[in-house]
Amino acid sequence: MEKITGNLQKESIQYMEFAKNVGKIVSIQGIIHRIREMTDFAFVILRTSRDVVQCIYSPKFSNYQLDEKVQEGCSVTVTGLVVQDQTREGRYELQIHNIAILSQPAEPLPLVINKKQIDNIALDLYLNMRSVVLRNPKERAVFKLQEGIARGFREYLLKQNFTEIRTPKIVFAGAEGGANIFKLDYFGKQVFLAQSPQFYKQMMIPIYERVFEIAPVFRAEHHDTSRHLNEYISMDLEMGFINSFYDIMEIETGALKYIFELLNHEYKNELELLNVQMPNIESIPTIKFMDAKDIIIHKFKKKITDFKDFDPEEEQLLGKWAKKEFDSDFLFVTHYPSEKRPFYAMDDQNNPAYTCSFDLLFRGIEITTGGQRIHDYHSQVAKMQARGMQVAEFESYLMLHKYGVPPHGGLGLGLERITMHLLGFKNVRYASLFPRDLHRVTP
């Protein structure tokens, strides 16, 4: 009987270990990314999980025939001598002694993935071929960076004593209300896909004080725009014992700073490949909703038709203004009109037409909506009644207020949106591994 001890022994090493193995014979595993035949030798470029490794084939030192079986797309173990790269300082290459083929493709790749970047192809084809396109190192860097963004959010919040929770995605009522909700037949009963973990994260406040969740949410929006997805990853947090909603903005700013530092430290390779312009986030300026409208009117001479919300163009103008005035890529807009905010939003005591809430704009586009919630039971019921809601339907949610909850608030941050704007994509679909939109549920 074999016993498993949990120590996986690999004979092959990673490229990062080459530096300390110069002059030694080692093995490395990867997929053949590119073969460049020269007059009397060949470059065999290996793609490994995070590197692209140059191996040299030459009859002088290679014991292996570089025949037609060795082709792009093959998974191989290459054994050879580690030497310094003569033309690129600080880089190492492998003089191939042997190649063992582990797996072979059935067909050559349908598009070129081993150049610096993928040729410009139509978005639809690009997404159909997503799993092929991502074999390009620059393309795959996008979702490695996205890992880092979510990881930074989580690591920062754990350090701030938040608890990570997992709430159901099959739900009996929508947190956002309205028609933008997917319906599901659940053993003969009609239920919904969660638009947000809102109710659940609030319910955890008297239990853990501070909670967060990183999970998919579903919106049946009929928007066919470059910034809407019907399924996306929401990074949600909720925190109790706040003095005001400014506390939530402090936590978000702290999280963003931590995220960008983490990317700078542990995702440098990806930032370089993608030529990312890291944002300035020393501090984030804030402006009240109505003052922002004022700036749009007076600085940008734009006629306002809607005083309840911003249109995309107005957000863009505010982004420009924040960059020009404060050299900031971010701008908090606070005190949104009550009418446009959900029933659980706390109204501003000084002016109840506005809420204790905020949006965060990143380079002129909203990536977060947040705010303080109502914690008093009677106030919450009164606001629901004023909106004509059926209070009885929210019985389990209202237990929260009935049995006592500290002043609290939170926010949601769209993972794809922040990825999109950090990387300067024109379309959010490029920032989702397998995007879901009005027309697309494949691959």
| Smallest separation (angstroms) from its own copies to the CB of 348 | 15
Nearer to its own copies, 39 or 243 (CB): 243
Q: In terms of C-beta density within 10 A (0-12 exposed, 13-18 middle, 19 or more buried), how is residue 48 classed?
A: middle
Nearer to its own copies, 221 or 309 (CB): 221
Nearer to its own copies, 356 or 405 (CB): 405
Nearer to its own copies, 279 or 285 (CB): 285
Contacts of 152 (CB under 8 A, 6+ apart): 255, 258, 259, 260, 261, 262, 263
| Smallest separation (angstroms) from its own copies to the CB of 256 | 7
| Smallest separation (angstroms) from its own copies to the CB of 322 | 11
Nearer to its own copies, 41 or 435 (CB): 435
Tell me whether strands 92-103 and 52-57 are parallel, antiparallel or unpaired: parallel
What is the greatest pairwise CA distance in the chain? 85
Q: Is the CA virtual torsion 386, 389, 390, 392 positive or negative?
A: negative
| Smallest separation (angstroms) from its own copies to the CB of 158 | 8
Residue 208 — φ and ψ, nearest 5°?
-115, 0
| Smallest separation (angstroms) from its own copies to the CB of 71 | 9
Helix 312-326 to helix 289-298 angle (10° resolution) is 90
| Smallest separation (angstroms) from its own copies to the CB of 17 | 12
R_g over Cα of the chain: 27
Q: Is the CA virtual torsion 256, 259, 261, 264 positive or negative?
A: negative
Nearer to its own copies, 199 or 310 (CB): 199
Nearer to its own copies, 286 or 316 (CB): 286
Q: Say if residues 24 and 81 touch (Cβ distance below 8 Å).
A: yes
How far is residue 402's CA from residue 406's CA, in Å, rounded to a whole number?
A: 12
Nearer to its own copies, 247 or 309 (CB): 247
Q: Say if residues 77 and 31 touch (Cβ distance below 8 Å).
A: no
How far is residue 46's CA from residue 55's CA, in Å, rounded to a whole number?
A: 7
Other beta carbons within 10 angstroms of residue 161's beta carbon come to 10
